[in-house]
């Protein structure tokens, strides 16, 4: 037998083995990697203020009481709180239990963005979009937080997917799916309205599609109107910090959050630039190649086997499974419009007194941004250069995410460690705890039974604990009241605790305690339920 004849069966066997790999295997690998990043350290970090506030002040045994608390203390629509209430009824209010819905939403986001990429520009774009989302520091961070933002990103992606399918093939079923997905996303986070405006503008731009799009857009508008009374009742509770944060710093934080996560500032602008460069170069190169070498479809010609650029003819007619639904130029223009509406409209509203522009509220807009980078990096015109730059961006983002997952200096404040230190007091004492506002809810969560000391009240205590973070006041470490001496100073990954003790219980006023907080921030005074409060 000749050498050629002996090699041929081996090649055929290898080809059969390759063909046995399911078409979805890249998505499976990406989902496994993304799930590992989100689930492996889900309970590593302690709750910070917003997370702890939910189980301490919002969740109640009754769903009605939970929704009533949401109206008076929160600033998001009800979907997330219903989900958290159900979760707490089944799994309890532990850190992992309350974060699990966010982690699952973050994992589902990978599938949703894969489907978005496939709908936009085919399988290569789908793999790129899912890979970017799997390692994106912003998406991973909020997948590990017991708040609404991971679900907001997921519902944004699902709404975008349903919109794309309805735009390409506006059947009654697909238009109804878009209406339902848009309404669900809007009932998850109010900022979804801005992206829905972009989708509506795109659907209304041409007469044949305009008539079909009016009913689903009207349905979404009806849901928006129904949410207005809730929005007014909530009234922006606890959002004063947004206006106190300089606008320039908030604008700079938008790309920083996406590239480094919400806690990546200590890494510095140099690292931010290193992560940004391959993604920016990928997008810029893709745009340049699209502008330099327009495709046949961009000149108005329909590719062979393609669906054409719009819904004028039979949508999807003759399109092969691997053929893109629309040209890269059309996909990029569409995503740019939706992302621009999601980011720019909140900025414009600041001029009219509606300043709610916090970078985390733009996580939904980062979904079309991620898809846009994937489209530009995987377009046929970008070739291997675009794919290489995109791969470098994925690797850089993965490195940042792993660093955040493992480095305490990049994580949430360790209020669990502070509480453990206070719990190890040498002997049971009547105590008062002064802390910054962001520490109140976490300490109430980890040290059950604490409550705020009323204004003007006094309390009889033999221990005073002061907690906060740098920079500290000059008076930090000095006794907060006569008769108390410093017992211990502890540092829990940057959160400082001073413990002061007295040999006998002494009365201390609330104003006296509040004036001696160790950090230049709004103070809170907490006391255990059993302490003797003097009126």
Task: Please tell me the predicted confidence (pLDDT) of residue 340.
Answer: 97
**Cβ contacts of residue 36 below 8 Å, gap of 6+?**
none
Average pLDDT over the chain reads: 87
**Which of 35-49, 190-204, 230-244, 504-518 shows the lowest per-residue confidence on average (mean pLDDT)?**
230-244
Between CA 519 and CA 468 the distance in angstroms is: 6
Stretch 426-430: mean pLDDT = 67
DSSP β-bridge partners for residue 401: none
**pLDDT tens column, 35-50:** 999 999 999 999 999 9
Q: Going by DSSP bridges, is the β-strand pair 458-469/431-436 parallel, antiparallel, or unpaired?
A: parallel
Query: If you average pLDDT over each of 191-195, 310-314, 464-468, which comes out highest?
Result: 191-195
Between CA 215 and CA 146 the distance in angstroms is: 35
Neighbours of 515 (CB within 10 A): 12
DSSP β-bridge partners for residue 526: 433, 452
DSSP β-bridge partners for residue 532: 460
Threshold 0.75, pTM exceeds: yes
Task: Please tell me the predicted confidence (pLDDT) of residue 305.
Answer: 34
> Cα torsion for 422, 85, 404, 420, to the nearest 10°?
10
pLDDT level of residue 331 (50, 70, 90 thresholds): very high
Greater confidence (37 vs 238) lies with 37
Task: Please tell me the predicted confidence (pLDDT) of residue 238.
Answer: 72
**pLDDT tens column, 391-407:** 999 999 999 999 998 89
Task: Please tell me the predicted confidence (pLDDT) of residue 299.
Answer: 42
Task: Please tell me the predicted confidence (pLDDT) of residue 217.
Answer: 96
**pLDDT tens column, 124-146:** 999 999 999 999 999 999 999 99
Instruction: Reply yes or no on whether the pLDDT at 245 is more than 80.
Output: yes
Instruction: Reply yes or no on whether the pLDDT at 14 is more than 60.
Output: no
Instruction: Reply yes or no on whether the pLDDT at 190 is more than 70.
Output: yes
Stretch 248-255: mean pLDDT = 93
Task: Please tell me the predicted confidence (pLDDT) of residue 304.
Answer: 34
Stretch 162-190: mean pLDDT = 96
**pLDDT tens column, 366-382:** 999 999 999 999 999 98
pLDDT level of residue 264 (50, 70, 90 thresholds): confident
Stretch 413-434: mean pLDDT = 85
Instruction: Reply yes or no on whether the pLDDT at 300 is more than 70.
Output: no
Task: Please tell me the predicted confidence (pLDDT) of residue 532.
Answer: 64
Half-sphere exposure of 510 (CA within 13 A, CB side): 17
Task: Please tell me the predicted confidence (pLDDT) of residue 531.
Answer: 60
User: What tokens appear for 490 in the block?
Assistant: 């502890």
Run of H or E residues at 505: strand 495-509
Run of H or E residues at 523: strand 523-528
Nearest to 84 by CA among 67, 107, 108: 67
pLDDT level of residue 174 (50, 70, 90 thresholds): very high
Contact 450, 52 (CB under 8 A): no
Instruction: Reply yes or no on whether the pLDDT at 7 is more than 80.
Output: no
pLDDT level of residue 430 (50, 70, 90 thresholds): confident
Where along the chain do its domains lie?
23-295+324-410, 415-534
Share of the chain above pLDDT 90, in %: 65
Task: Please tell me the predicted confidence (pLDDT) of residue 409.
Answer: 87
Between CA 40 and CA 47 the distance in angstroms is: 16
DSSP β-bridge partners for residue 436: 523
Between CA 185 and CA 193 the distance in angstroms is: 9
Output the CA–CA distances (angstroms, integers) from residue 387 to 32, 92, 363, 377, 391, in the order listed: 22, 44, 25, 6, 6
**Which of 100-109, 138-147, 289-298, 398-407 shows the lowest per-residue confidence on average (mean pLDDT)?**
289-298
Q: Going by DSSP bridges, is the β-strand pair 532-534/450-452 parallel, antiparallel, or unpaired?
A: unpaired
Task: Please tell me the predicted confidence (pLDDT) of residue 427.
Answer: 58
pLDDT level of residue 307 (50, 70, 90 thresholds): very low
**Cβ contacts of residue 257 below 8 Å, gap of 6+?**
138, 264, 359, 360
Instruction: Reply yes or no on whether the pLDDT at 233 is more than 80.
Output: yes
Task: Please tell me the predicted confidence (pLDDT) of residue 303.
Answer: 41
Task: Please tell me the predicted confidence (pLDDT) of residue 227.
Answer: 96
**pLDDT tens column, 151-160:** 999 999 999 9
Stretch 51-67: mean pLDDT = 94
């Amino acid at each position: 037998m000749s050498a050629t004849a002996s090699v041929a069966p081996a090649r055929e066997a290898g080809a059969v083995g390759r063909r046995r790999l399911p078409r979805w295997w890249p998505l499976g690998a990406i989902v496994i990697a993304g799930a590992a990043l989100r689930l492996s350290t889900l309970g590593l970090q302690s709750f910070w203020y917003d997370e702890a506030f939910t189980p301490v002040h919002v969740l109640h045994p009754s769903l009605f009481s939970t929704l009533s608390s949401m109206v008076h203390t929160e600033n998001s629509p009800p979907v997330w709180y219903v989900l958290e209430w159900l979760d707490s009824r089944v799994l309890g209010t532990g850190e992992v239990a309350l974060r699990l819905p966010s982690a699952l939403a973050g994992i589902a986001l990978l599938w949703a963005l894969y489907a978005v990429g496939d709908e936009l520009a085919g399988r290569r774009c789908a793999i790129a979009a899912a890979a970017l989302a799997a390692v994106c520091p912003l998406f991973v961070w909020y997948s590990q937080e017991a708040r609404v933002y991971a679900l907001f990103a997921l519902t944004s992606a699902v709404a975008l997917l349903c919109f794309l399918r309805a735009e390409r093939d506006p059947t009654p079923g697909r238009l109804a799916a878009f209406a339902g997905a848009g309404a669900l996303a809007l009932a998850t986070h109010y900022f979804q309205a801005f992206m829905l405006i972009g989708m509506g503008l795109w659907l209304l731009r041409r007469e044949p599609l305009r008539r079909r799009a009016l009913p689903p857009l009207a349905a979404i508008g009806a849901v928006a109107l129904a949410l207005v009374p809730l929005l007014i009742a909530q009234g922006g509770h606890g959002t004063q910090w947004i206006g106190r944060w300089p606008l320039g710093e908030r604008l700079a934080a938008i790309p920083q959050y996406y590239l480094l996560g919400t806690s990546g500032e200590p890494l510095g602008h140099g690292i931010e630039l290193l992560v940004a460069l391959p993604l920016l170069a990928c997008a810029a190169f893709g745009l340049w190649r699209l502008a330099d070498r327009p495709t046949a479809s961009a000149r108005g010609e329909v590719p062979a086997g393609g669906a054409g650029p719009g819904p004028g003819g039979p949508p999807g007619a003759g399109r092969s499974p691997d053929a893109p639904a629309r040209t890269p130029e059309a996909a990029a223009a569409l995503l740019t419009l939706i992302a621009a509406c999601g980011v720019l409209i909140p900025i414009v509203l600041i001029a009219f007194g509606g300043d709610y522009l916090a970078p985390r509220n733009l996580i939904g807009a980062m979904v079309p941004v991620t898809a846009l980078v994937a489209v530009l990096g995987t377009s046929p015109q970008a070739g291997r250069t675009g794919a290489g730059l995109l791969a470098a961006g994925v690797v850089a983002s993965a490195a940042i995410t792993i660093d955040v997952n493992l480095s305490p200096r990049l994580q949430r404040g360790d209020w669990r460690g502070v509480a453990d230190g206070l719990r190890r007091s040498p002997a049971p004492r009547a105590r008062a705890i002064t802390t910054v506002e962001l520490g109140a809810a976490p300490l109430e969560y980890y040290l059950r039974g604490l409550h705020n000391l009323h204004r003007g009240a006094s309390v009889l205590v033999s221990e005073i604990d002061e907690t906060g973070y740098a920079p500290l006041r000059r008076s930090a470490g000095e006794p907060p009241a006569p008769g108390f001496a410093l017992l211990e100073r502890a540092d829990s990954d940057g959160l400082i605790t001073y413990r002061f003790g007295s040999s006998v219980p002494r009365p201390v006023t609330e104003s006296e305690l509040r004036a001696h907080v160790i950090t230049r921030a709004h103070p809170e005074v907490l006391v255990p339920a059993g302490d003797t409060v003097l009126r």
